[in-house]
Structure 1
Amino acid sequence: MMTIAYAFVMSLTALAAKQAQTMIAVSSLVFWQSVFCVLVLLPQMRGRWQKRPFSVWKIHFLRSFGGFIGFLFYYWALNHIPLVEASLLRTCAPLCVPFIVLLLHKTHIPKARWLPLFVGFIGVALVIQPTPSHLNPWHLVGFVSAIGLALSMVTTRMLSQQVSGQETLFVYFLVSSLLSLPLILAQEASLLVPMPAWPFVAVVAVTLYIGMYLYNKAYTFAPASIVSPVSYIGVVFSGFWGWVVWGHVPDSYAILGMLFIFASLLISTRIARNKGDTPMKNQG
């Protein structure tokens, strides 16, 4: 139930973000959502600060950078492709996790994992349709958001045994707000948010924090083998909002691609369950 609630809340985040970007720059939106979450998490960190070795701060930065890239490229993609397709491509993060693990830990991908990866990337190809007449570079931008999210997933797992979930999120949002500032300057955007945009920015910030909370709780009470496929229902919610608000209806290739990606996630989670999956906390 918490995973379904998380998926619904994050679909509201995407809906409000797509609306907000008609009035403010993406970098400004990422800055304000990060600042809001820092202010909410700051009181929770009282009395919890501890001295950390450089190795932990290195993982903190990688996790924060991955999360920053994940949201930044996701929001950019929202401006140019239907909401459901951007959400679908972001949901492909589990497909990228084995490659992130390979880069960080030099751990080779088990043979059993190649089948779901192959099925999943067929689904991605059906959504993107990388032909000269159809290729939209913003689909690739959406897929980069999945790579960033995968990096944050792997490094959050690494941090979960060493720091609290509040610390992980606090550092992430703090770094995210700092990384947003050079982009705002480079784009010659403004930190000032016009009054008509504030309701959408507020919805993004509040739902993002609630979504992170629900996501962490879901992984506390259930193993990843259950949470991951259930969270895919967020694509359904995004498809509903895209249809109601913008009249976007996925074509047959996109729908087929969704089915392939969902099938790959089911195969992956079945493999994980057979190997004795355990609950994973503080991911997001």
Structure 2
Amino acid sequence: MLGALFLFVLLDATAKHLARSYPVPMLVWARYTVHFVLMLALLAPTLRGRLVSTARPARQVVRALCLLAVTFFGMAALARMPLAETTAILFAAPLLVTLLARPLLGEEIGALRWMAVLTGFVGVLLIARPGGGLVTEGVLLALAGAVSYAFYQILTRQLTATESPVTMLFYTALVGTAAMTPLLPWIWSGPLPDFGDALLIASLGIYGGTGHFLLIRAFRDAPASTLSPILYVQLAWATLVGWLAFGDFPDGLAFAGIVVIGCAGAMIALHSRGARRAR
């Protein structure tokens, strides 16, 4: 899990660096295409038809499109905002999942989880407050990414009972590549990448594909209730990498907002863990 989270931070930091010179849709295309090619090369020879075999193809496609939206909105936000603040707003997704869990999943929301949701949204307001120095367009893009991420997580919960994790991972790569490749003549603009930038662009797919593979392995080898609180280590690493790589460090209120979001999400994760143990 920790390895997956670190790769996701590297993915975001690399995308932020590349977005200074290349259009975001081109980077999104590269992230999914390299991921897709890697899965074909490494898994297709052994898994063959099992790689695409699914009982719920329509829901697999919708889930993959939600992750594609997360990637696009997230990279677009990173091009406009610091790494730590963007990551923190995207991490509002578990709070939205809690709100949507009752109508979409039939889950009960207790008082503690309601308190955690309200606390987390206070954290978002501390980061995105007027006068905080963040670009409004970037904040809106990050919030759109959080909403997309929430629906992606809900669809993932619905599919995990019947679908293979590797198949779910393959569909995210397949759908992302299929959706972005026809747009390539319109989104490929700017300078041709030199060898160094080409390696960085290819690394987006390596970070994303390997990170999600490690995530799947983590959830196979340990209970979700154990792993969920660890997800918020990514906030700490995003803050550290943003400071080291770009010289960006949140001001006092924004840093407090990041901590509040992390605590609220961890509270929800720990509460869910206790509820599972009780059942």
Q: Tell me, yes or no, whether TM beats 0.5.
A: yes
* Residue number in structure 2 paired with 1:125: 125
CA distance in 1, matches of 2:176, 2:149: 13
Task: From the superposition, tell whether residues 176 and 49 of structure 1 become closer, same or farther in structure 2 (CA, over 3 Å).
Answer: closer
2:5 equivalent to 1:4: no
Q: How many correspondences in the alignment?
A: 273
2:77 equivalent to 1:77: yes
Task: From the superposition, tell whether residues 187 and 47 of structure 1 become closer, same or farther in structure 2 (CA, over 3 Å).
Answer: closer
Q: CA deviation at 1:194?
A: 4.7
Give the partner amino acid of 1:129.
R
* Residue number in structure 2 paired with 1:28: 26
Secondary structure at the counterpart of residue 80 of structure 1? coil
CA distance in 2, matches of 1:169, 1:214: 11
* Residue number in structure 2 paired with 1:38: 36
Contact 2:30–2:204, Cα closer than 8 Å, also in 1 = no
TM-score if structure 1 supplies the norm length?
Answer: 0.86
Q: CA deviation at 1:100?
A: 3.9
Secondary structure at the counterpart of residue 21 of structure 2? coil
CA distance in 1, matches of 2:245, 2:271: 38
* Residue number in structure 2 paired with 1:48: 50
Give the partner amino acid of 1:67.
L
* Residue number in structure 2 paired with 1:225: 225
Task: From the superposition, tell whether residues 64 and 190 of structure 1 become closer, same or farther in structure 2 (CA, over 3 Å).
Answer: farther
Contact 2:8–2:208, Cα closer than 8 Å, also in 1 = yes
* Residue number in structure 1 paired with 2:137: 137
What runs of 5+ residues in structure 2 fail to find an aligned partner?
none
2:14 equivalent to 1:16: yes
Q: By percentage of residues, which structure has more helix?
A: 2
What runs of 5+ residues in structure 1 fail to find an aligned partner?
279-284
Task: From the superposition, tell whether residues 15 and 46 of structure 1 become closer, same or farther in structure 2 (CA, over 3 Å).
Answer: same
TM-score if structure 2 supplies the norm length?
Answer: 0.87
* Residue number in structure 1 paired with 2:275: 275
- Please give the root-mean-square deviation of Cα atoms over the aligned residues, in Å: 2.6
Contact 1:87–1:238, Cα closer than 8 Å, also in 2 = yes
Q: CA deviation at 1:215?
A: 1.1
* Residue number in structure 2 paired with 1:154: 154
Task: From the superposition, tell whether residues 79 and 265 of structure 1 become closer, same or farther in structure 2 (CA, over 3 Å).
Answer: same
Deviations 1:12-69 (CA, angstroms, capped at 9, x unpaired): 111111122223221111112211111222252414157645xx12211221111011
Q: Percent identity?
A: 24
Greater Cα offset, 162-171 or 225-234:
225-234
* Residue number in structure 2 paired with 1:110: 109
